Amino acid sequence: MIEHPRNPATDDAELFARLAHVQPATLGHHVSGGALSPQIRALVPVRRMVGRALTVRQPLPDSTPVFRALEALRRGDILVIDRQGDHHIACVGEMVALAAHHAGAAGVVVDGVVTDIEELREIGMPIYARGTNVITARVMNQPGGELFGSVTIGGSVISSGDILFGDANGILRLDGHNPNLDKLVARAMADEHREIGWRVKLAERHSLGELNRAL
């Protein structure tokens, strides 16, 4: 199994606290890419998910790479699993989700399918995937897995350490090294504040086009 070096842990508390007050779609007004495919959708109720990606490439129905990743989880990580086009065999179920949850994971994102959906809902941690199935991965200890490298999830390339920001509508990948990220978040927060007044004006039958200065 290939295991890439991980970057040191970062202190994201302030940034993540700001993102908690913004909708991903509001931030999406100001970016042109980075959204994962809408086929990767929330399978449990999600208000917000924000954290650093911990990536796994799992090309075989072998649970070993996921178990190894669970041992490396840091609090606030999001477990991100690239199933390499296998949308039939589930790699996450109740026990994997419980292990991730108790390790402090902020969520799980799978380009593939999961199982035990009722139990996953009870755990309450954000879970995104393409769907569910009843055939599951198992421990095989075969070569081919890869940890902490770059993976492709829903058409977006994600590296360990990237910021994932999601809600019930979908997920944005954010580059934590982007020098303009703080400005983007500030613009989104200003948009959210402005929309408080817009809701009142729209109820008073003001024109949305005029509010947007589009007319």
Q: Please report whether residue 184 resides in a domain.
A: no
Q: Is 70 exceeded by the pLDDT of residue 124?
A: yes
Say if CB 181 and CB 174 are below 8 A apart. Answer: yes
Instruction: Check residue 121 and report its DSSP letter.
Output: H
d(CA 29, CA 59): 35
Is residue 130 situated within a structural domain?
yes
Whether 211 contacts 201, CB under 8 Å:
yes
pTM of the model: 0.93
* pLDDT average, residue stretch 138-156: 92
pLDDT digits (tens, 9 = 90+) for 71-93: 999 999 999 999 999 999 999 99
Mean pLDDT of 174-203: 90
Give the confidence band of 214 by pLDDT, cuts at 50, 70, 90.
Answer: low
Indicate the range of 128-132, 147-151, 163-167, 178-182 predicted with least confidence.
Answer: 178-182
Mean of the pLDDT values across residues 105-132?
98
What's the token pair of residue 149? 């490298």
* Size (the chain), residues: 215
Q: Which residues pair with 136 in a beta bridge?
A: 90
Residue 215 predicted with pLDDT over 50: no
190 located within any domain: no
Residue range 128-151: mean pLDDT, rounded: 94
CA-based end-to-end distance of the chain:
58
Residue 1 has pLDDT above 60, yes or no: yes
Fill in the DSSP letter of residue 88: S
Q: Render pLDDT for 30-72 as a digit per residue (tens, 0 to 9).
A: 888 889 999 999 999 999 999 999 999 999 999 999 999 999 9
Least-confidence region, from 99-108, 126-135, 177-186: 177-186
pLDDT above 60 (res 17): yes
Q: Which among 82, 136, 81 is positioned nearest to 105, based on CA atoms?
A: 81
Q: Which of 131, 87, 122 is nearest to 101 (CA)?
A: 122
- Would residue 79 count as lying in a domain? yes
Residue 60 φ/ψ, nearest 5 degrees: -115, 165
Nearest to 174 by CA among 89, 69, 51: 51
d(CA 168, CA 99): 23
4: in domain: no
Count CB atoms within 10 A of the CB of residue 165: 24
| 94 annotated among ligand-binding-site residues | yes
Q: What percent of the chain has pLDDT over 90?
A: 82
- Integer Cα distance of 74 and 28 in angstroms: 27
Q: Is residue 127 part of a domain?
A: yes
Q: Domain containing 121 — which CATH number?
A: 3.50.30.40
| 77 inside domain | yes
Residue 56, annotated ligand binder? Answer: no
| Pairing verdict, β 107-111 and 127-129 | parallel
- The answer to whether 93 is annotated as binding is yes
Does 210 have pLDDT greater than 50? yes
Range of the domain at 24: 12-178
Is 121 contained in some domain?
A: yes
Q: How many domains does the chain have?
A: 1
